[in-house]
Structure 1
Amino acid sequence: MKALHDPQGILKQGLDAIRSEFAVPRSFPPQVLAAAERAANRAPTQHVDRTDLPFVTLDPASSTDLDQAFLIERTGPDLLLRYAIADVAWFVEDGDPVDVEAWHRGETLYLPDGKAGLYPPVLAENRASLLPDGPRPAIVFAVRVDPDGEARLEGVERAVVRSRAKLAYDSVSSADLPEPFADLASRIAAAEARRGAARVDPPQQEVERLAGDRFALSFRPMLASETANAALSLATNLAVARFLLDHRTGLFRVMAGPDERAVARLRQSAHALGLNWPAAVDLKDFERTLDARDPAQAGFMLAVRRAGSGAGYAPWHAGAEPWHAAIAAPYVHATAPLRRLADRYVIRAALALAQGEQVPDAVTQAFDRLPDVMARADAIAGRIERAVVDLAETVMLHGREGEVFGAIVTDAEGASARIQLEGVPVIARVKAADARPGQTFPVRLEKSDPATRQLSFALA
């Protein structure tokens, strides 16, 4: 899970239990590994040579499954982003053992100490990954970004590319990057603000050891290089979404915004964390003021992430415009095919249409099947993420049984109340008859058991 870091291995025993509970695969069936080995030797024959272009990648230093490489050029007032995406479909054919296993998995599952990949490592971390150790087959999207940050797809082609450098978020300098990199990120951010987008990128949490047997959860905000790099994927996914909509096809990422009840809970969470959220300011505008370097504001960003109704996938249908509330625009996933099954089919559709061809029947049929498959995969990933957070919270509070915390009610139903601890990024439940949202009272920690990931509070 990318949202939590455990460099000292404090959570190892609990993570092993989570893997067993959720049947997280530790490897691939032999026939899948054998098929992947054969596919890895497939030489690109339908690709133009773009190895002269100075592509680079930008990812966490330890990453080896590199989906994207990029270069950016100025063309008059516009910026031209060439975004090379791993050509997974070149190695994985419809119905082969690797494809069947990918449909079973849906997406890569992340835990703080490792991952269960969507594809075998010989592909995901070697031949299909855009590593700088040789030419790689890719799908190159040409995306034009105008001064207002509007992104438009100009072309899609299969190409062989060679990355010049594997850059890392924590060590990259502006001199390593294409000159317009920061300008492109700024344009995309400005366009988001005009649309009223409300993407929340919570900081990563890290488990750290304190004196004795005490632990804490600290926050590591996203680095500026991470935020800017995300703009490249955002611009491409927006451009591809518009392109597919124009052709009346596609698979879209859709999400409704938080309902009134969720927003009311968030206002109580903000109050519990000591944040000033004026009544006249809506959630989207308040989110844009948050600073992930502040622990209280970082905790609220996590609360926002958990408050949404969740995103899903929907194929294009006449008369129903797909909408992503957080992006405030139609949106697709097309830039991480090594990690998400859906991306491979969105890419295939965009490539076919850009080449003046019909979308393959296999892709159109996949668009109808993928929402259920991806929903199941997202649900498993979400349950694992929740379990990891629960584990981290119980480890942090273990040994503090009997301690009294201030709490504020964010939601209440019957004799049960959902509470946000004051000054601590923990949401829990407590028995409290007739509790009302916004009410504050002290609670005593009765139990914090890392083995069962259970927290128990009682009114103090």
Structure 2
Amino acid sequence: MSHQRIAPNVSETSNQLAEALAALRTELELPAGYPAEALRDAEAAVSGHMLPAQDLTGVPFITIDPASSTDLDQALFIERSGNGYRVLYAISDVPSFVPPGGALDAETRHRGQTYYAPDGRIPLHPEIISEHAGSLLAGQDCGAFVWDFELDAEAEFRTVSVCRASVRSRAKLNYKGVQSEIDSGTADPVLQLLKEVGIKRVELERRRGGASLNMPEQEIVQLPDGGGYRIVAAPSLPVEDWNAQISLMTGMAAAQLMLDGKVGILRTMPAPDERSLLHFKRQAGALGKPWTEGTSYGEYLRTLDGKDPRQLAILHSAGLLFRGAGYTPFDGELPGSVMQSAIGAPYAHTTAPLRRLVDRFVLVICEALSNGTEIPAWARDALPSLPEIMASSDQLAAKMERLALDTVEAALLVNHVGQEFDAVVISGSKPAKNNGNGNGNSTNGHNGNGNGNGNSHGSSGIVQIAEPAVTARCDGEMESGTKVRVKLLDADIATRQITFELLQ
């Protein structure tokens, strides 16, 4: 007797998805509401908050973020200075809202970072801080750590200092709007200079061997009516890269300040090992985009186009080389390894204190070192404990994002079981042509590939369909980078399982 699976209707699917996402929070033991004592700490800190004495509210700072963001960590101002540039980068003064040793401090150390779930974020700090008093909202006087850079004509920084000051952002801008204004030639001079400096900083990144993995990202977006979700997969806008270059520059400056002062905490990552690099080079050649001798890793990645199926497969494989990142504290004796290999320089997290715990400590240390004052004991004493806190929260955030994406993808496909789709093979079950080494059954832990279901049905690989934008396991023998036709066998919201089969 055959059993035909009846697809749920849209309302049932929406309810099942909401239940599954709620269950995910429980399953992963994600933080819920803030403890009452920590909230009292936050409220007291806000009501008694004093702005820094140094007044930079006359500087016309702007913020550039996703349109929906309200936890604004950074504000920017750029002007010409001689044949170079002056960049002022204001970072939210979060340390002034968190009394050391109190309940709020303890809760932020427990959380480690903000968790971005599809059904709502779980903030590192209470909203009274993260979305109001501590957020660099337009028209609001705020405290900030202001980084002051003097750049030369090539946008390399010659001098840098950091101080606490009062600032006021003039406008809350979003990436799409800024990109449109820049492209049409109607952008404000600060935005035009952001493009100019950003492009030059990208060139400096290329020279030092840094690497940016420009792979289309999948983002879960809630529909306006709150009745469901969609997954958007699109390459980042150029302005996002230019803006990120200012943040990277600040992180590099923070690292150098701390290395010179022999105290701090770096974000480090080792270079890829030779075996992994050799395998990647063989696969890239087999997929028709060889990595030629004399070309740096970062420079090669910039030549890849994620819209090309075979090059998209290379980009996915390249992501496996970005491994081993961690936090390295030091006090007195410099660590043996200080490099962040993907950036090509020593680097520290310092520009997102509303959303990441470690930045709060880096800001305080850098401000003291820049001004020759004593580093607060609470910041110095915390250094040894921060790597474990951040590693644990990073792992939890990555797991939540992966499982949430699996859940939403299953919901998007649950009513399409039995249908056929065009797909691109991201990770194949047989070697690409002319690749004697092959890429085996490498999987990305997505939709069952990392939990025992990966190869239980014989040969399988990972495929990506375009609409809806979903990546999942597919049964069958296939070659990385090829376009194939697949059939959806199963999509289950509760178990987060999606299975395709290759059509011959």
Closer, same or farther: CA 133–216 of 1 in aligned 2, 3 Å: closer
- Give the equivalent residue in structure 2 for 1:5: none
Q: Could you list the per-position Cα deviations for residues 270-307 of structure 1 after superposition, in whole angstroms to 9, with x for gaps in the alignment?
A: 699xx532153675333111335667655654553355
Q: Counterpart in 2 of 1:159?
A: 165
Does the Cα contact within 8 Å between 1:296 and 1:423 map onto a contact in 2?
A: no
**Which residue does the alignment assign to 1:350?**
366
Please report how far the alpha carbon of residue 201 of structure 1 lies from its aligned counterpart in structure 2 after TM superposition. 4.3
Determine whether 1:83 maps to 2:89.
yes
Aligned residue for 1:170, secondary structure, equals: helix
User: Quick one: structure 1 residues 184 and 440, their matched pair in 2 at CA, closer, same or farther if it must change by over 3 Å?
Assistant: closer
For 1:333 and 1:206, the matched residues in 2 are separated by: 23
Deviation, structure 1 residue 152: 4.8
The 1-side partners of 2:481 and 2:214 are apart by 26
Please say if 1:73 is aligned against 2:79.
yes
Query: 1:187 and 2:203 equivalent?
Result: no
Supply the distance in 2 between the matched residues of 1:312 and 1:9 (Cα, whole angstroms): 38
CA spacing shift, 1:455–1:49, aligned 2, 3 Å: same
Residue equivalent to 1:453: 496
Aligned partner letter, 2:440: D
Tell me the secondary structure at the aligned position of residue 360 of structure 2.
helix
The AA in structure 1 aligned to 2:50 is P
* Residue pairs, 1:126-141, within 5 angstroms: 126-141=132-147
1:340 equivalent in alignment to 2:340: no
Tell me how far 1:453 sits from its aligned partner: 1.0
Shift of 1:330: 0.4
**Aligned residue type for 2:322:** G
| Alignment correspondent of 1:4 | none
1:411 matched to which residue of 2? 440
* TM-score, normalised via structure 1 length: 0.84
Indicate which of 380, 389, 393 corresponds to 1:377. 393
Which residue matches 2:59?
53
Q: 1:400 to 1:87 in 2, by over 3 A?
A: same
Percent identity between matched residues is 36
Corresponding residue of 1:276: 288
Shift of 1:103: 0.2
Instruction: Please say if 1:421 is aligned against 2:487.
Output: no
What's the offset of the Cα at 1:372? 0.4
After the TM superposition, which residues 102-181 of structure 1 pair with which residues of structure 2 at under 5 Å, given as runs?
A: 102-172=108-178, 173-174=181-182, 175-176=187-188, 178=190, 179-181=192-194
Instruction: Tell me whether 1:314 sits opposite 2:328 in the alignment.
Output: yes
Q: Is the 8 A contact 2:490 2:499 kept in 1?
A: yes
Unaligned runs of 5+ in 2: 1-12, 223-228, 430-438, 443-454
Q: Which residue of 1 aligns with 2:6?
A: none
RMSD: 3.6
Deviation at 1:98, TM superposition (A): 1.2
For residues 424-439 of structure 1, the aligned pairs below 5 Å read 426=471, 428=473
Q: For residues 400 and 240 of structure 1, do their structure 2 counterparts lie closer, same or farther at Cα, with a shift above 3 Å needed?
A: same
Q: In structure 1, what residue type is equivalent to 2:211? A: A
Q: Is the 8 A contact 1:268 1:437 kept in 2?
A: no
Q: 2: CA distance between counterparts of 1:332 and 1:111?
A: 26
Unaligned runs of 5+ in 1: 1-7, 210-214
Which residue of the partner structure matches residue 98 of structure 2? 92
- Separation in 2 of the partners of 1:358 and 1:54? 31
User: For residues 308 and 31 of structure 2, what CA distance do their matches in structure 1 show?
Assistant: 37
* Helix, strand or coil at the partner of 1:426: strand
The Cα of 1:444 is off from its aligned counterpart by 7.0
Q: Structure 2 length as normaliser, TM-score?
A: 0.77
Query: CA 1:243/1:145 → structure 2, altered by over 3 Å: closer, same or farther?
Result: same
Q: Deviation at 1:264?
A: 6.7
What amino acid maps onto 1:93 in structure 2? P
Shift of 1:113: 3.6
Residue among 39, 47, 62 paired with 1:41: 47
Q: 1:338 to 1:9 in 2, by over 3 A?
A: farther
Residue 377 of structure 2 is matched in structure 1 by 361
Residue 289 of structure 1 is matched in structure 2 by: 303
Task: Choose 18-27 or 277-286, whichever is displaced more.
Answer: 277-286
Superposed displacement of residue 164, structure 1: 1.0
Distance verdict in 2 for CA 1:319–1:114, change over 3 Å: closer
CA deviation string 1:59-107 (max 9, x = no partner):
1111111101111122112211111110011111211111110000000
Q: Is the 8 A contact 2:118 2:220 kept in 1?
A: no
* Residue from 234, 240, 264 that aligns with 1:250: 264
For 2:413 and 2:278, the matched residues in 1 are separated by 27
- 1:263 deviation in Å? 5.0
